[in-house]
Chains A and B, each alone.
Chain A
Amino acid sequence: MIRLYAFVDGLRLLPHGLRSSRMHGLDAVVGAAPGSDDRVQAALVHGRVVESLREQADAVLPVRLGEDFVDDAALEAAVAPRAHALQERLEEVRGCVEVGLRVVGDVLPTGEGPRDGASYMRMRLAPLRLRNALEESLHAPLERRAKAARVAPFGSAPLMLEASYLVSEGAVDDFAGEAVDLASAWPRLSVTCTGPWAPYSFAEADA
C-alpha cells in the first residue's frame, strides 16, 4: 500500500523515505502507507512532508490526508481522469503559498439570557451581522489583494471568520501587514494571520 502526499513540479530535494512517480505529465510524491491507525500522528507526518515539499518545489499541490492506493498502477488509474485538471491547478498555485486568517471573539452579550422571543432573535442576529461586516471590511480587501481566496461558511461564534488566501510567495509579509492593519479596526476581536502554508485550500477546483 502506498500513500500519496502531493503533486509537485520542479522538486529539488525529496523528503527522506519518499519517492517521486511520474504519471500523466505529473510528478506524484508517494511513500509507504503507515500501518498505524493513529490519525493525529498521521496528520502530523502528512503536514511535515507537505511543508518540506513546499520549501523544495516550485509548485506543490497537496492532497487530502490518507489517500492510499494498492500500488503505482492503482494510483495512476485514479489520476488519469483528473490529470488535466490537476495540471491546471498546479500551474495556478506555482510560486504561491497559502495565508490563513482567523477571527475569534466573544460577541454575545454577557449577563441575563433573552427576556422574550424578540430579544432572543436580536441576540442570535448580532453575530450574523458582525460576520457580514467582517466579510465586507476585512475579508473583501484581502481577497482583492490575493490571487484567490476561500472563506469558510459561518458556523457559530466565537469563530467569526476563517479564510484562506493564495498569495505570491514574495508578497506574504505585505499581505500579513495589511491584514493586521485592517484587523486593528476590530479591537474586541482576536485576529491571527498565519503562513506561509502549502496551498491546501486551493488544491481542489472551485466548488
Chain B
Amino acid sequence: MRDDPVLTKLLGSTGDLDGVARRTGGAVNAFPSRIGADPETVERGLAQLVLTLVELLRQLMERQALRRMDEGVLTDDEIERMGETFMKLAERMDELKAEFGLEDEDLNLQLGPLGSLL
C-alpha cells in the first residue's frame, strides 16, 4: 500500500486505514454505471433501471419517516407500522435483486449535488 498514490496524500488518519480503502471502493467506482441495452441482457438491464427507481423512492420515503421519528412527531404505533412496511419493502427488494442477479452497487445512482443513492 505504500506505493498507493492516495497514501502519498495522506495528511493524517485514525482507525483502520486498510478498512477505509476496502469499504469505500476504488477509483473505478467513481464512474457512473450504465444500464445494459444489449438485446440478450435487456431484461436484466430493464430490471436494473426499474429497481433503481423503486429503491430511490423507497429510500426517500424511509428517510422522511426516520426524520419524523427523530423529531418525535410519530406515535409508537405509527413507528411500528411504518417500520414493518419499510422492512417488508427492503426484504422484497432483496428478493427481486437476487432474482435478477443484481447487487446493491448495480442500483446505485449518482444524483449530482445530492450525492449517490447507495
Contacts and interface: CB of A to CB of B under 8 A. Distances in A.
A152 B76 CA distance: 32
A184 B31 contact: no
Contacts, number: 119
- B interface, over-half SS: helix
A120 B87 contact: yes
Interface residues of B, number: 41
Contacts of A57: none
Contacts of B85: 117
Interface stretch (A8-16, A87-95, A186-194): A186-194
Interface residues of A, number: 47
B10 A192 contact: yes
Interface stretch (A26-34, A67-75, A171-179): A171-179
B82 interface: yes
Interface of A: 39-40, 43, 99, 102, 104-106, 114, 116-121, 124-125, 128-129, 152-156, 158-159, 172-173, 176-177, 179-180, 183-184, 186-197, 207
Interface of B: 6, 9-17, 19-20, 23-24, 27-28, 30-31, 62-63, 65-67, 69-70, 76, 79-87, 113-118
Closest 5 CB pairs of A and B: A117-B83, A190-B15, A117-B84, A176-B11, A121-B83
